[in-house]
Structure 1
Amino acid sequence: METTKLREWLESGGAEGLSWLQLEGFPDTGRGVKTLRPLKSGNVVLTIPGSFLWTVDAAFDDPVLGPTISSIKPPLSVEDTLAVFLLFVKSRKEGCEGKRAHVELLPTSYTTSVFFTDEELEICSGSSLYHITKQLKQQIRDDYLQLLNNLFSKHPDLFPLEKFTQDDYMWALCTIWSRGMDFQLPGKQFRCIAPFADMLNHSPDVQLCHTYIPQSDTLQILAGKNYTIGEQVFINYGSVPNNRLLRLYGFVLPNNPSDTYDLVLTTHPLAPLYAQKVALLESASLQVNATFPLKLSDPLPLDILRYLRIQRLSSSEISTVEAKRGARNIVSARNEAEILKALIEACESLLAGFSIPLEKLEANIASSVYQKSDNKWAAAHVSVGEQKILKMTLQKAKELLALVICAQCGKADENNKRCGRCRRVVYCGTDCQKSNYKEHKVICKTYTAD
């Protein structure tokens, strides 16, 4: 791979570390960066001065592009500014030599979910990725038309339309999503693309190792672990679930421990006792329109139960919850049974919405019905991860419900008593316990043995 121009440009401005790093094709990740010398964890691997970074400020500082985009009302978003900047440099025949050298090394295509065919995307129908990708495709079309009308068509000398098509715009967005780095600085969020550093691939097995230093205006890559000569050097994007990895970066990690399913809860303004419930939610540090990530390690967060307890309060229960400051504990057996039944119904409905059930997807992956690393294979892994989490949430809700309602008659009562042996079910009295014994005894013995 020809990186001479990019190396010369970066080294001329003080970049450090390029002499012991080399682009290489790897079987599992494709293009990446290998080290030509041993590295110890924490060593500075690469330093890129801020003057080489693709940033919003750099776009506005460009003597040709800057005055034009700064006059746009309303102002362009960070993503659109960077996308226009990338396409502008890519379209230039003269000037911006260093940045053009970087653009020439960027991929010509991406495997993010917005490029999936309908058939490929259908594999994960029912997942959050499926719905977000559908929305994202429409959003890209709308945003491109706005750019076309407000910027490109008004300045055809700067933005020749044959080089600023919707496909070009999608390419630029995917470049930003897959290669951008975000840093939280005092008072603002800072996003950039760092030449050469953006060639490093992700691994969850290394420490977080990329940082921006405002005082010196430099971006540094540190060794996230010890490396030997010839090894691929990785960075860590953080705990990223497969639905986000595929949407932004174009790949997935099988059995990703960071997988999540985002459960959205909201309370309608016309709901009974709305004002009181909003006040209680706020006192419990919960938002009225809230998104809760369900995780493999925590498939049913306590905050979901707290939210639902408040949402399903009866008028007689309001004062009880106020006394308990936000329903941290069970309000009543009635309330708890209602929210758990609603949660079980919601999980079952969500699981039924997946076009291909978990068991079939896992069988298809194991038997190579989907070719490893192709789009269908990646979509299948996203669906598998989300369905596993929802099944765990469903199981947890059922286990909690079994501790609230009588296993025989289904009565929800504060006086229900747990089975003395397994402690996994409750009964409203001895009559129900005796009536349910034949059905329960096998399960009870299993729990006791465990």
Structure 2
Amino acid sequence: MESWLKESGASGLDDLELADFSDTGRGVRTLRQFEKGETILTIPHRVLWTVKHAYADPILGPALLSAQPLLSVDDTLVTYILFVRSRGFGDGLASHVAALPANYTSSIFFTEAELEFCAGSSLYATTKQLDQQIEADYKELVVRLLGPWPELFPLDKFTIEDYKWATCTIWSRAMDFKLPSGDSIRLLAPFADMLNHSSEVEQCHTYDVSSGNLSILAGKDYKPGDQVYINYGPIPNNRLLRLYGFVLPGNPNDSYDLILTTHPMAPYFEQKHKLWVSAGLDSTSTISLTLTDPLPSSVLRYLRIQRLTESDLGVIVPHQIDAVFDKISDSNEMEILRFLIESISNLLEGFGTGLEKLEEQLAVGFYTPNGNAWSAAHVSLGEQRVLRLARETAKDLLAVVESGSGNKSATSAQCAKCHMVPVQAMWCGRCNGVMYCGRACQVADFKEHKAICRATAAKNASKGG
């Protein structure tokens, strides 16, 4: 591969070599000293894997362009890689394909038993969904392209296992760049795609729009024999394992993707949807909880809107821009915070192995280092730490609201009808003076409560609220 790249105009290869490292596996080693910011490697545009180059191939291009609408960027690149590999001859791109790993350790290749070590995590659910999506995408590719062009795409060389391998090649090795036009480009760069990730170097891979070349700069000072790194960005372990097949123990960027959703048939959905949009959200929103921001304000904004009553909506809609950012009322705030505490507790209980046990197992070497189960355990550990911080934050916020709401204490208040202490409270929307464990008890108690409710509401009104 190196000789072909040199003939194609690549520079810097004489100062680098591929090598195996004990901690990262295959990578790139320096043969001389580099100073931070110095150009280490340049790969010319003519040897990059891009959608444009796939279309330009005299044999593959017409087939790709016949699929209307056009295939996605990833499916185009996947087909390009498998097409080159299937032909099995020549130098050039074929030598790059031959140098690619035969197997990957991304979570989609885990056995069911290995994946169980992160049961309950967002990675577990995402991996299951990806498996189904890959199968569906492959079937569509067969119908739209592989089937109509059997002479170019023999199905024994374009199996679903091949498709899965090539898809993971794109996920783990492609680089993305934003262009001045606002568009983006995704590409694979031979040799440069052998560089491993380190958060200790600055972002150091660049794309020159005028020449179309890709360059790698030194993200720090290097001595001869050092491994050269690039920085993939602040990526949590659940995404690192899903896309790249590795994790970073104690990753400071660990996160949990919280999915908040509301059914379109829910009461007042249209009004609430407008409020979500005003808040920069949607009726289904995925919000990342992180170690540095375990309970983002967007989570509270979403739930405040979701739990609005008819009377709340009548007051808020005329002033929706301001309302979506602030606390609606004490009762609304306590309801969403109690819901969060209970929901997060349920999420934590759903993990296959609890936080303390995972910490103990990892400390005593229960898992084979860098094995699939070990990686899955680190994902589970990181997500549980984030969720625990989120729950503690919600508890702290709830304590503040309760302390400012007089006798409305979650620890002592009881449902006015059944006298149970509810997990989620529903306060009377008119007088805000009594609490119920749910709608059923509120309706059942209405006859007895309505006289007191009117009097209390009138008294509060005479005091200005």
| TM-score tier (shorter) | 0.7 to 0.9
1:349 counterpart = 2:346: yes
Superposed displacement of residue 147, structure 1:
2.2
In the other structure, the counterpart of 2:399 is 402
Superposed displacement of residue 363, structure 1:
1.4
In the other structure, the counterpart of 1:109 is 103
1:328 counterpart = 2:325: yes
Whichever residue aligns with residue 276 of structure 1, its letter is Q
Whichever residue aligns with residue 386 of structure 1, its letter is E
Superposed displacement of residue 191, structure 1:
0.4
Q: Does the residue aligned with 1:28 lie in a helix, a strand or coil?
A: coil
**d(CA) in 2 for partners of 1:162, 1:377:** 34
**1:252-293 Cα shifts (integer Å, max 9, x gaps):** 000111111111112332333323222222222222221111
Give the alignment partner of residue 234 of structure 1, picking from 213, 229, 233.
Answer: 229
Superposed displacement of residue 84, structure 1:
0.9
Superposition map of 1:157-306 within 5 A: 157-185=151-179, 186-306=181-301
Aligned residues: 406
Q: List gaps (5 residues or longer) in structure 1.
A: 1-5, 413-450
Q: How large is the Cα RMSD of the aligned pairs?
A: 1.7
**1:202-229 Cα shifts (integer Å, max 9, x gaps):** 0011101111111121111111111111
Q: Does the residue aligned with 1:45 lie in a helix, a strand or coil?
A: strand
In the other structure, the counterpart of 1:374 is 371
Whether the aligned pair in 2 keeps the contact of 1:306 and 1:326 (CA below 8 Å) is: no
Residues 39 and 318 (structure 1), Cα distance of their counterparts in 2 relative to 1, 3 Å cut: same
Q: Does the residue aligned with 1:238 lie in a helix, a strand or coil?
A: coil
In the other structure, the counterpart of 1:390 is 387
Q: Does the residue aligned with 2:301 lie in a helix, a strand or coil?
A: helix
The worse-fitting range, judged by mean Cα deviation, of 314-323 and 333-342 is 314-323
Q: Does the residue aligned with 1:141 lie in a helix, a strand or coil?
A: helix
Q: List gaps (5 residues or longer) in structure 2.
A: 403-408, 416-465
Whichever residue aligns with residue 357 of structure 1, its letter is G
**d(CA) in 1 for partners of 2:210, 2:323:** 44
In the other structure, the counterpart of 2:14 is 19
**1:62-82 Cα shifts (integer Å, max 9, x gaps):** 111111111013321111111
Whether the aligned pair in 2 keeps the contact of 1:284 and 1:326 (CA below 8 Å) is: no
Whether the aligned pair in 1 keeps the contact of 2:205 and 2:217 (CA below 8 Å) is: yes
Residues 286 and 154 (structure 1), Cα distance of their counterparts in 2 relative to 1, 3 Å cut: closer
Whichever residue aligns with residue 160 of structure 1, its letter is P
**d(CA) in 2 for partners of 1:316, 1:150:** 52
Q: Does the residue aligned with 2:228 lie in a helix, a strand or coil?
A: strand
In the other structure, the counterpart of 2:121 is 127
Q: Does the residue aligned with 2:282 lie in a helix, a strand or coil?
A: coil
1:141 counterpart = 2:135: yes
In the other structure, the counterpart of 2:356 is 359
The worse-fitting range, judged by mean Cα deviation, of 260-269 and 225-234 is 260-269
Whether the aligned pair in 1 keeps the contact of 2:236 and 2:255 (CA below 8 Å) is: yes
Give the alignment partner of residue 100 of structure 1, picking from 81, 91, 94.
Answer: 94
Give the alignment partner of residue 151 of structure 1, picking from 122, 140, 145.
Answer: 145
Whether the aligned pair in 1 keeps the contact of 2:278 and 2:320 (CA below 8 Å) is: no
**d(CA) in 2 for partners of 1:54, 1:161:** 23
Whether the aligned pair in 1 keeps the contact of 2:279 and 2:321 (CA below 8 Å) is: no
The worse-fitting range, judged by mean Cα deviation, of 168-177 and 148-157 is 148-157
Whichever residue aligns with residue 169 of structure 2, its letter is T
**d(CA) in 2 for partners of 1:275, 1:174:** 40
**d(CA) in 2 for partners of 1:113, 1:351:** 21
Superposed displacement of residue 319, structure 1:
5.1
Whichever residue aligns with residue 412 of structure 2, its letter is C
- Give me the TM-score of the superposition, normalised by structure 1: 0.87
Whichever residue aligns with residue 70 of structure 2, its letter is P
**1:393-414 Cα shifts (integer Å, max 9, x gaps):** 01110111111223652489xx
Superposition map of 1:61-80 within 5 A: 61-80=56-75
* Identity among equivalent pairs (%): 54
